[in-house]
Amino acid sequence: MKRKLLLVLLACAMLSSCGVKNIGNTGVKTSGENGIHIKNGDSEVSIGKDGINAKNGDSEAKIGKDGIVAKNGDSEANVSKDGVKVQNGLDLEGEDPETKEKRKNNVFLDEDKIFEMEIKENSLDKDDIKDWEIKLDKESQTYTVKYNALHHRHENERDAVTGQLLKGMTSPTSR
């Protein structure tokens, strides 16, 4: 009984996560020897001998004898007796293999690229930037830039491989 209740609760959670709130007049529910099938718009859930399947658009979740599989577009996560697999061009830490290789080999962004990134991120012109300072920390693979632009002092810490902002601070300067 507890197992059936758990399966029903799990199916409800999957329905909810796929966007099915209530079957209502527009939804279709069928049951038979193949199990229970609920469809509402582009969302559907099936509970049967193969396990529980939930779909909504290009998202899909399956719980069955092979484990748990969740797909969204071209991303996929798979939990089975063999372990956890994530396939989407990114690893579990969220970096693509190319960036991971650059990080391993300490391939950092060059100063010109960093300068261009700061200009673009803050919608500045090259002439707007004064007192440019940059400090690279190879151990933590970060860099810090400090500069004045348009009566503001900028201090940003970024990942030295990807340029992703880690910490940023802007404060007014006296005229």
Contacts of 141 (CB under 8 A, 6+ apart): 103, 106, 108, 159, 160, 161
Residue 12 has what pLDDT? 57
Residue 46 structure tokens: 């099936």
Of 158, 118, 156, 154, nearest in space to 141 by CA: 158
Instruction: Report, as an integer, the average pLDDT of 87-97.
Output: 64
pLDDT digits (tens, 9 = 90+) for 25-78: 556 667 777 788 888 888 888 888 888 888 988 788 888 888 888 888 767 778
User: Which of 1-15, 98-112, 132-146, 159-173 is predicted least confidently?
Assistant: 1-15
Is 159 in contact with 106 (CB distance < 8 Å)?
Answer: no
- Where b means 16+ CB within 10 Å and e means fewer, 6-33 reads eeeeebeebbeebebeeeeeeeeeeeee
How many distinct helices (H) and strands (E) make up the chain?
Answer: 3, 12
Residue 166 structure tokens: 């880690």
Is 46 in contact with 35 (CB distance < 8 Å)?
Answer: yes
Position 21 confidence tier, pLDDT thresholds 50, 70, 90: very low
Separation of CA 30 from chain center: 35
Domains and CATH numbers, the chain: 2-87 (no CATH), 101-172 (3.10.450.40)
